[in-house]
Amino acid sequence: MITVLVEPDNETLTFKRHSTVLRLQQQLGLRVNDALVIRGDRLLTPDDRLNDGDLIRIRKVMSTG
């Protein structure tokens, strides 16, 4: 299972099945450059694999004013 914290909405989601960052972005309805995908102090690219127990932060980048 992975835990996903979505910013700036402060929404926490969990996913039992996980594969890659790209798949996670698709599940969240995000395009590749819509958000930073962060694990620890590193940014992830779409092909990076997600691991069981990962805590992932999704930081949407579009400013709305």
Partner 1 sequence: MKCRKCKAPAEVALPSHHTAFCRDCFSIFFTRQVEKAIRHHALIKYGERVLVALSGGKDSLTLMLELSRLEYDVTGLHVDLGIPGSSPPARAKVEGFCERHGLKLRVVELAKLGLAIPDVKRYINRPVCSACGKIKRHWFNRVALEEGFQVLATGHNLDDEVARLFANTLRWDAGYLSDQGPCLEAESGFARKIKPLYRLTEFETACYAFLNGIEIHSAPCPYSGGASFTGHKQLWANLEHTSPGTKIAFYDGFLERGRPAFAHVEQQTGAPLAPCETCGSPTSTGVCGVCRLALAVAERRAADPDRQTGPDRQ
17 near partner 1, rule: CB under 8 A: no
Q: For tokens 């997600």, what's the residue?
A: 50
38 near partner 1, rule: CB under 8 A: yes
- Work out how close the CB of 20 gets to partner 1 at its nearest, in angstroms, rounded to a whole number: 11
C-alpha pair distances (Å), 48 with each of 11, 19, 22, 29: 22, 9, 8, 18
63 near partner 1, rule: CB under 8 A: yes
Interface ranges with partner 1 (CB under 8 A): 7-8, 31-34, 36, 38, 42-48, 59, 61-65
